[in-house]
């Protein structure tokens, strides 16, 4: 690859790094209401460059299962401090923090209540609630502000984003804008110590009287998420109460904790942020190895993040911990010290999401001394507390060094944030990173240069050009919730050689947060040839995977487009006034609507094309469902085929898949090998879905007999991946030989759909993670979907294994989804991963349809 920096060893996973490197395929789903400020008019061009001095409106993102409001106080009309007496949770002696000598969750509120009474610098807000119902505390530390001064700060913040060209020349911003810094802690619940370091720093700043501290707080607002994952902190788990790895949930924002951080990113607009994790020895301090996210303004980002990393490295090493005395290795900066394996390519992590909201220095910090997982159970308490104390010390050093860097470079940091927004608003080209554009950063080579050519606009069509109006509305609301600006055409128009109907949505890419718009809507890139390994997923396109038709406009202007900025997608719920009704099942909301109607006793039949037919007598119930779920019931003369029934699913699946099944309205009973061995009442299930945690070979005789009787009696099976295929084979059901591809592969793939019940009208793309396919198909096995031929990987990372097998060339044209009947059971097997982390929403209905089709009546 022409690496210019010598000796960047590949990251090696060891016992010491396991806590940081291991992750589960926990998954995201829908986002809830999220008020998002945006200007109300455009200037110069659609959503043009400078949109200053407009009072922002608020948009609510609709989501399946209801909406919820942000917990953040808008602060309008209020100054600082904003004291709030927190409710103290009941004491919990089972809190896992206690064993480490750290602050239990129930001990945080009393400390914050006390700190608010120390002087006039500390304010506390409730940023939201966790999946488990625990309050999320956001602490602001700053010098006091009158209501008038706080309003002035807010106007300057809005000008920086919405009028960057004039903000860059505004001397008042240069002299008096308080630079926002965000410190995020404990997003992985069993990586505890950042919380305690933050509490110590907050206390120190609350009491400090030295000139440096007074100047820091006079010119900065410091925001601390004290624990972003209280569920995991209490339980000692990486995931939250829903089983989700929250640091994989950005962009999708299925979980309330991720939505709370997103709200902080939008409302507070941090210029610098750090995210505290464990455990990698020596302390790992980003910036990262290649590949680098191509939608960032990476030249601005790298110069700041590398310089801040050097300061944190010096502070951490300066604590005096050594390998010989303490077991602590010197700090590591991946960009400088490693070749690959710790990249910032996907926008799913907190520090990789924040730059899209203007942060120009973001970091994951991995403190070194492992105290979770096996260490938590096997190490003596005294040793665990020694390690935890070292980690708290190191986390505190990283925090203080970051504040020092921001204080020293306050003016240039804000100038760079403004430049990020200016480039977006004016449609300026990206500036490739180099030793000239990122001075002071050694070893920049061609392997670090990742840029993209932003399109002129994206169009989400209305009318016949739109595959799913329901999916389009969901996508628009999600863009708005992420502070991406969207317009809706007031007249029909022609753009990029295509004609669009009135009501089509336009995402003008001349907007401050164009990087965020593009990272969500673009196809992405096949980076298989760039590096040998990736830290996590490599492809994620919402434009391809969320079920809506999205067109890319590459060039030209938008002068012929008459449109209005929107704050929420238009309602698409509709019921035909007469006749029988057809409900398409092309979106999770449509599946949920059907399941809700079936639960109410409404009669429905499959139409053989993946939809449902309802009698005209169901019109009243359909109207209620259309309003609740935002779906359309069209008139039809079709009579339908087999009856559809409310489907109860026994599910041995990942937490993300469980989330997605419930999002689609299925009654789900989680099962596993252990649950079945303990005795499971199969009368509670109509279908079984298996992707993880169930091995028929490990069932005891009674459990195996009960499972076999369920399948032989007409209970259906939906299998996904190796676990689903193994159960199918072990039970002697469908004759289909599974072939496993490269286990490290993932991304967005092109597929060819056969049509019919499972894939009729399905998108031409799906998602894979450790992909597989099926060969040697027996009589009666139907191929529902195939991988594309030729270049099947649209975006992601998929190589052949060392022996040359398991790559995309082996998968091309092979069956990716198959179905059939065998041994009394209807079976559908997936080699794709259609519910991955509750993300590829446009692919969810394939699983929903499969479950409806295999369920016993």
Active site residues: 419
What tokens were used for 330? 């010197």
- The answer to whether 676 touches 650, Cβ cutoff 8 Å, is no
- The answer to whether 478 touches 521, Cβ cutoff 8 Å, is no
- The answer to whether 570 touches 505, Cβ cutoff 8 Å, is no
What tokens were used for 213? 């501290």
Give CA–CA dist 193/421, Å, rounded: 34
- 45: helix, strand or coil: coil
Which H or E run includes 740? strand 737-740
Would you say the C-alpha torsion 751, 757, 761, 767 has a positive or negative sign? negative
User: Could you tell me which of 174, 169, 159 has the C-alpha nearest to residue 425?
Assistant: 159
- The answer to whether 46 touches 504, Cβ cutoff 8 Å, is no
CB atoms inside a 10 Å sphere around CB 856: 17
Sheet with strand 551-553: strands edge to edge: 551-553, 457-460, 505-508, 487-489, 563-565
User: Could you tell me which of 653, 723, 718 has the C-alpha nearest to residue 852?
Assistant: 718
- The answer to whether 186 touches 233, Cβ cutoff 8 Å, is yes
Give CA–CA dist 602/590, Å, rounded: 15
- The answer to whether 765 touches 545, Cβ cutoff 8 Å, is yes
Token pair 């990206």 in the structure block, residue: 430
Q: What CA–CA distances, in Å, run from 677 to 239, 655, 691?
A: 26, 21, 18
Helices (DSSP H) in 82-146: which residue ranges?
A: 105-116
Which is it for strands 272-278 and 361-367: parallel, antiparallel or unpaired?
A: parallel
Give CA–CA dist 376/371, Å, rounded: 5
Phi-psi region of 426 (alpha: psi -120 to 50; beta: other; left: phi over 0): alpha
Phi-psi region of 23 (alpha: psi -120 to 50; beta: other; left: phi over 0): beta
- The answer to whether 504 touches 264, Cβ cutoff 8 Å, is no
What tokens were used for 174? 């240069």
Instruction: Indicate the DSSP class of residue 706.
Output: H
494 strand-pairing partners? 499
634 strand-pairing partners? 582
Give CA–CA dist 856/177, Å, rounded: 64
Token pair 């409001």 in the structure block, residue: 69
Give CA–CA dist 336/228, Å, rounded: 29
- 691: helix, strand or coil: coil
Find the angle CA(254)-CA(189)-CA(260) to the nearest 5 degrees.
40
457-476: b or e for each residue (b if 16 or more CB lie within 10 Å)? bbbbbbeeebbbbbbbbbbb
Contacts of residue 454, Cβ cutoff 8 Å, sequence gap at least 6? 427, 509, 514, 518
Token pair 């500036």 in the structure block, residue: 431
Give CA–CA dist 852/765, Å, rounded: 22
- 164: helix, strand or coil: helix
Instruction: Indicate the DSSP class of residue 215.
Output: H
- 31: helix, strand or coil: coil
Which is it for strands 580-584 and 611-614: parallel, antiparallel or unpaired?
A: antiparallel
């Amino acid at each position: 690859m022409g690496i210019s920096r010598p000796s960047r060893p590949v990251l090696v996973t060891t016992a010491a790094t396991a806590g940081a490197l291991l992750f589960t395929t926990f998954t995201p789903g829908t986002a809830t209401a999220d008020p998002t400020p945006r200007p109300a008019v455009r200037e110069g061009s659609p959503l043009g460059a400078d949109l200053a001095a407009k009072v922002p409106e608020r948009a609510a993102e609709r989501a399946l299962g209801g909406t919820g409001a942000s917990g953040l106080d808008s602060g309008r009309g209020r100054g600082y401090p904003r004291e709030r007496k927190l409710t103290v949770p009941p004491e919990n002696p089972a809190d896992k923090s206690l064993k480490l000598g750290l602050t239990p969750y129930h001990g945080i509120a009393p400390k914050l209540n006390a700190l608010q009474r120390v002087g006039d610098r500390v304010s506390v807000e409730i940023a939201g609630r966790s999946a488990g119902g625990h309050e999320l505390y956001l602490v602001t530390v700053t010098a006091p502000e009158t209501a008038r001064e706080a309003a002035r700060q807010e106007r300057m913040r809005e000008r920086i984003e919405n009028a960057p060209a004039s903000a860059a020349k505004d001397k008042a911003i240069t002299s008096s804008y308080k630079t926002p810094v965000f410190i995020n802690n404990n997003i992985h619940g069993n990586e505890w110590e950042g919380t305690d370091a933050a509490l110590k720093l907050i206390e120190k700043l609350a009491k400090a009287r030295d000139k440096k501290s007074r100047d820091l707080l006079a010119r900065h607002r410091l925001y601390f998420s004290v624990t972003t994952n209280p569920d995991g902190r209490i339980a000692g788990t990486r995931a939250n109460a829903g089983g989700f790895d929250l640091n994989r949930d950005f962009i999708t924002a299925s979980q309330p904790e991720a939505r709370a951080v997103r709200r902080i990113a939008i409302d507070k607009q941090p210029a610098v942020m750090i995210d505290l994790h464990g455990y990698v020895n020596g302390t790992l301090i980003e910036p990262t190895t290649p590949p680098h996210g191509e939608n960032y303004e990476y030249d601005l980002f790298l110069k700041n993040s590398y310089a801040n990393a050097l300061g944190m490295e010096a502070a951490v090493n300066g604590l005096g911990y050594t390998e010989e005395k303490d077991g602590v290795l010197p700090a590591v900066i991946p960009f400088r010290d490693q070749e690959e394996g710790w990249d910032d390519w996907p926008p799913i992590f907190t520090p990789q999401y924040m730059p899209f909201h203007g942060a120009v220095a973001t970091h994951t910090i991995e403190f070194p001394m492992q105290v979770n997982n096996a260490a938590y159970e096997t190490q003596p308490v005294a040793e665990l507390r020694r390690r935890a104390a070292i980690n708290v010390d190191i986390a505190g050093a990283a925090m203080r060094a970051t504040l020092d860097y921001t204080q020293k470079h306050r003016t240039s940091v804000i100038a760079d944030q403004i430049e990020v927004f200016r480039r977006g608003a004016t449609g300026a080209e990206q500036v490739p990173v180099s030793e000239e554009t990122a001075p002071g950063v050694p070893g920049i080579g061609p392997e670090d240069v990742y840029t993209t050519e932003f399109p002129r606009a994206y169009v989400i069509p209305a009318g016949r050009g739109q595959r799913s109006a329901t999916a389009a509305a969901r996508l628009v609301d999600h863009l708005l919730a992420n502070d991406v600006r969207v317009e809706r055409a007031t007249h029909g128009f022609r753009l990029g050689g295509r004609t669009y109907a009135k009501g089509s949505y336009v995402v003008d890419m001349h907007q401050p947060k164009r990087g965020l718009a593009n990272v969500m809507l673009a196809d992405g890139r096949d980076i298989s040839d760039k590096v040998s390994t990736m830290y996590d997923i490599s492809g994620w396109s919402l434009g391809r995977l969320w079920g809506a038709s999205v067109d890319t406009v590459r060039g030209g202007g938008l002068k012929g487009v008459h449109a209005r900025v929107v704050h929420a997608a238009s309602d698409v719920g509709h019921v035909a006034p007469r006749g029988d009704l057809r409900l398409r099942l092309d979106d999770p909301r449509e599946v949920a609507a059907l399941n809700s109607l079936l639960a109410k006793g409404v009669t429905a039949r499959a139409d053989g094309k993946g939809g449902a037919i309802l009698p005209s007598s169901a019109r009243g119930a359909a109207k209620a469902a259309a309003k609740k779920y935002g779906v359309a019931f069209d008139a039809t003369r079709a009579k339908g085929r087999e009856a559809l029934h409310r489907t109860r699913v026994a599910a041995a699946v990942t937490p993300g898949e469980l989330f997605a099944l419930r999002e689609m309205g299925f009654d789900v009973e989680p099962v596993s090998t252990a649950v079945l061995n303990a005795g499971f009442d199969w009368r509670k299930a109509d279908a079984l879905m298996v992707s993880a945690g169930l091995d028929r070979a490990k069932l005891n005789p009674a459990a195996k007999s009960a499972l076999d009787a369920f399948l032989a009696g007409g209970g259906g099976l939906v299998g996904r991946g190796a676990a689903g295929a193994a159960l199918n084979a072990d039970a002697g059901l469908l004759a289909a030989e599974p072939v496993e591809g490269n286990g490290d592969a993932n991304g967005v793939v092109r597929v060819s759909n056969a049509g019919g019940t499972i894939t009729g009208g399905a998108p031409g793309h799906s998602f894979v993670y450790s992909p597989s396919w099926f060969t040697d198909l027996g009589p009666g096995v139907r191929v529902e979907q195939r991988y594309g031929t030729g270049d099947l990987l649209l975006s992601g990372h998929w190589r052949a294994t060392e022996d040359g097998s398991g790559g995309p060339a082996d998968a091309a044209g092979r069956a990716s989804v198959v179905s059939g009947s065998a041994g009394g059971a209807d079976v559908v097997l997936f080699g794709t991963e259609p519910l991955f982390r509750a993300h590829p929403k446009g692919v969810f209905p394939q699983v929903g349809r499969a479950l409806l089709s295999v369920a016993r009546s």
